[in-house]
A = this chain, B = another copy of it.
Amino acid sequence: MAQGMNIGEAAKASGLSPKMIRWYEEQGLIPRPPRSEGGYRVYGPKDIERLRFIRRARDLGFGVRQIGQLLALWQDRGRASADVKRLALEHAAALEARIEALRGILAAIRHLAEHCHGDARPDCPILEHLAHDQEEHP
């Protein structure tokens, strides 16, 4: 075995869904595999390796474009590790920015919720915040 897996087996072996495998193929992350007589995609060990690489990169939150760059670097024997590191640090910076934005929002929500008594009465600082412009006044 390991010689010629169908997409379902490739999916199990890589941790991706068949759908995603086809989609990555469409996006150009993986070469179009040969087909069986019946038209089925046939994957070899190299393909499985590549799919697993993709899954791990995806699990680290890399986008399709970045995964493509990582794959290119991976295949490039003469790569500089600095290039890989730069990609990773850019991704880290983007993640951090998203996290910070979300944390700001979370803090605001929590703050509002804390001051809402949360009973049967209708008055609520959350709705008041949304309704009245306390924000503008620089």
Contact residues of A: prevailing secondary structure: helix
List which A65-108 residues lie within 8 A (CB) of chain B. Answer: 70, 73-74, 76-82, 84-86, 88-89, 91-92, 95-96, 98-99, 102-103, 105-106, 108
Q: A81-B124, A95-B102 are in contact. List 15 more A-B contacts (CB 8 A).
A: A56-B130, A57-B130, A60-B105, A60-B109, A61-B102, A79-B124, A81-B123, A81-B126, A84-B118, A84-B126, A84-B127, A85-B116, A88-B112, A92-B106, A99-B99
Q: Given A77-B122, A122-B80, A124-B84, decide whether A56 and B129 contact each other with a Cβ distance below 8 A.
A: yes
Q: CA A82 – CA B124 in complex, angstroms?
A: 9
